[in-house]
A and B are shown apart, each in its own frame.
Chain A
Amino acid sequence: MGLKRGHKARPVERVAEILIFTVSLSTIALILLIFIFVGREAFPVLLGKTNSALIQPVIPAANLDQLRPEEVREYLGLTAQQFKEMDRETLMALMESREEASNDIPESFRNDPDAKANTTQFRYLIRPHQWTGYDRPEYIWQPVGTIHKYNLMPLIVGSLKVTLIGLLFAVPVSLGAAIYVSQLASPRVREWVKPGIELLAGIPSVVMGVFALLLLASLLQRIFGYQFRLNAFVAGIALGLTAVPLIFSIAEDALTSVPRSYTQAALALGASQWQASWQVVLPAALPGVFAAAVLGFGRCIGETMVVLIASGNASTMSWSVFDSTRSLTATIAAEMAEAVAGGHHYRVLFLLGTMLFAVTFVTNFVGELIIHRLKGRMEGRG
């Protein structure tokens, strides 16, 4: 009877399998969707379709009747549908508001060459520019103001700086702990440390940010005596703390996956436990440690709340550790709420997001590849 039931159910089986397969496509679909929909909002910037210039060509509202409808539609940036639904009065109001906007430009900016610049062009985004009032070309991120300055370099430098500080703190500490826990510690110590690290992993990043803001900042300021309480160093250390659990667990995994026989052979040859772990196990697990650092990099550069709360958020083009720093992530978080949807500021922020996505995509890919290779090698030999 069972056989018969199975036989009958076959079409259902087939349908179910197809459904299950379709659902399993979701992860791939989501990655693509993220790429498309974050990229979509940034695309006009990449294509040079946005114009953030302060001074735009103005047609006097009185000339409305002399223009062809198509010209009016284009000038006002309306869709065909919108244009069809609008009466003359509304069009007039729009023309007038354009005119007013141009009249509102402060006198001091009328003859400023920068006022005509479309600051979302690549040369303004990447290269330094000598803005009016500055002595030399500089990298400036000041998106809010009369002239929108969107140079991405201070943010990229800021993100890299904080991330590197975080890694310089997190990698040695996590690696040290991983060696100790996996190779040297007694089982009882291990039982204490592992849940502790899981606990650390469970601390939300906003809480880590608050910890950095209230305690870490004051403590580090007292030790190092720097001027600004919130800076790249404080944010970097806190950032490192959020990455410790990840780096630790990958490194520990890599160390424990080194076949036991390696250690035993070393010990049999008269090595101490330390020598066995330092000179035999660690070199064998090195690719895994490297992968941990790479994935830690991805984690750090993408972390938002810690940096937003603890880094001071000044967009300076400085590599000094004790200067305030603005990161890519914190910039998106702080500025998106005020950006007009579809405007140039909004699109530039999505461009930052696209960059972040691309960077983490690559680091993840590299990290996973290394781990995969390492596992294959260990299994092959062990």
Chain B
Amino acid sequence: MKAAPRAPFHSQGKDPVALLGVSVTGFATALILVILAVILGSVVLQGLPAFSWRFVSTVPKKDFFDIESAAVLPMIVGTTIRVLVMTVFVMPIGVITAVYLTEYARAGSPYTRIVRAAINNLAGVPSIVFGLFGLGFFINFIGKNLDEFMGAEGPNFGQPAVIWASLTLAVMTLPVVIVATEEALKAIAPGLREASLALGATKLQTILRIVLPNALPGILTGGILAISRAAGEVAPILFTGAAYFMADLPKRLTDQFMDLGYHTYVLATQSPNIEKTTPILYATVLVLLLLTFSLNAVAIIVRARMRQALRAGH
């Protein structure tokens, strides 16, 4: 990386300012990559000793700070459930919004601009504020009222639960899905739509039978990116569903759950003996990274394939 890049016209070696500039910017690039390598390297090296099949496939017996019995199956299950439930909510809403923006809305109309501003803003809201929103809206408003409406004995919905954490995350990842879907929809050749319309299909038929099927890989990418973003988030679920410890796996959507990211936080800050639990912490981080990175990798591959196919198609 240190080697100066080839310059088409001038030899940069002769100009000290240019040399400095190139090396400084090159150094900045290298710094980012080195830090990344250090993070990943340390997680892999220090996480592997405590990482085992038992670690990911069993429920922690007794004490999750104890290296003999530490295990993360309930956290993996909890994280998986919360992102899957999230997907059920975020995908339809995100995709339909994107369909409206690309297929129906007039580009540049005031309404479109407001929607876009809202999407951008939603993407920039701090994750902890989503947590507060989940608590204030889903639990204290929707949940409590639902309980009252159903006349339940004691609260059932008006407390932290999988469903509320998932809904909170769905709100948070909505922009991700919309943007990815829009990108996929825009990438479809206009000729396809026109051909469909010319054959007498209605707009809705065109969207359902031509546009959406063709955009499917891109839409899936959006979903996967949303999942990978949500899987690692801790702040939004702190008050909406994550549990410090639960003896059983969650069985209902109104149960709380243990979570990989939150568990990482617990291990990092609440451990009774830091030296002894550091390997468990690293192993948990390793599992979390494996989960988010494999999802990201799938998304990147699907997207690359899609772009290739499109290029070939044009």
Contact = CB atoms under 8 A, between A and B. Distances in A.
Find out whether A and B make contact in their complex, taking CB atoms under 8 A apart as touching: yes
Contacts of A211: 39, 42
Interface stretch (B14-22, B61-69, B185-193, B215-223): B14-22
A107 B188 CA distance: 76
Nearest to B228: A202
A254 to B, nearest CB: 15
Contacts of A181: 29
Contact of A195 (B26, B28, B32, B300): B300
A333 B235 contact: yes
A301 B6 CA distance: 40
B114 to A, nearest CB: 6
A33 B140 CA distance: 13
Nearest to A359: B126
Contact of A337 (B99, B125, B201, B238): B238
Nearest to B178: A27
Contact of A365 (B38, B96, B117, B140): B117
A309 interface: yes
A80 interface: no
Contacts, number: 291
Contact of B29 (A5, A177, A305, A308): A177
Given A27-B174, A356-B129, A33 B137 contact: yes
Given A27-B174, A37-B133, A299-B124, A20 B17 contact: no
B125 A357 contact: yes
B16 to A, nearest CB: 11
Interface in A1-42: 1-3, 5-6, 9-10, 12-13, 16-17, 19-21, 23-24, 26-28, 30-31, 33-34, 37-38, 40-41
Given A189-B1, A214-B278, A241 B35 contact: yes
A186 interface: yes
A152 interface: no
Interface residues of B, number: 96
Given A211-B39, A215-B42, A273 B121 contact: no
A382 interface: no
A179 B24 CA distance: 10
A33 B122 CA distance: 11
Interface in B7-55: 7-10, 12, 15, 17-18, 21-22, 24-29, 31-33, 35-36, 38-40, 42-43
Contact of B100 (A21, A173, A186, A195): A21
A193 B128 CA distance: 30
Interface string A84-113: 000000000000000000000000000000
Interface in B222-247: 228, 231-235, 238-239
Interface residues of A, number: 100
A368 interface: yes
A368 B117 contact: yes
A26 B132 contact: no
Given A199-B36, A363-B124, A309 B96 contact: no
- Main secondary structure on A side of the interface with B: helix
A9 to B, nearest CB: 5
Interface in A326-357: 329, 332-333, 336-337, 341, 349-350, 353, 356-357
A309 B239 contact: no
Given A204-B288, A274-B15, A304 B235 contact: yes
Contact of A205 (B201, B234, B296): B234
B99 A20 contact: yes
A262 interface: no
Contacts of B262: 206
A172 B28 contact: yes
Interface in A258-288: 267, 270-275, 278
Interface in B246-264: 261-262, 264
Contact of B120 (A34, A179, A304, A368): A368
A185 interface: yes
Given A6-B202, A12-B204, A204-B292, A329 B235 contact: yes
A198 B124 contact: no
A357 B6 CA distance: 46
B238 A360 contact: no
Contacts of A38: 129, 132-133, 136
Contacts of B24: 176
A58 interface: no
20 contacts: A1-B200, A6-B200, A6-B201, A6-B202, A17-B204, A20-B99, A20-B100, A173-B28, A184-B22, A192-B33, A199-B293, A200-B35, A206-B232, A206-B265, A210-B281, A241-B35, A270-B10, A304-B128, A353-B128, A357-B126
Given A30-B118, A214-B278, 12 more contacts: A24-B101, A24-B105, A27-B119, A30-B174, A185-B29, A207-B43, A273-B8, A298-B124, A304-B126, A329-B235, A333-B131, A360-B124
Instruction: Give the 8 A-B CB pairs with smallest separation, nearest first.
Output: A2-B200, A204-B232, A302-B126, A176-B28, A274-B18, A180-B25, A24-B100, A364-B124
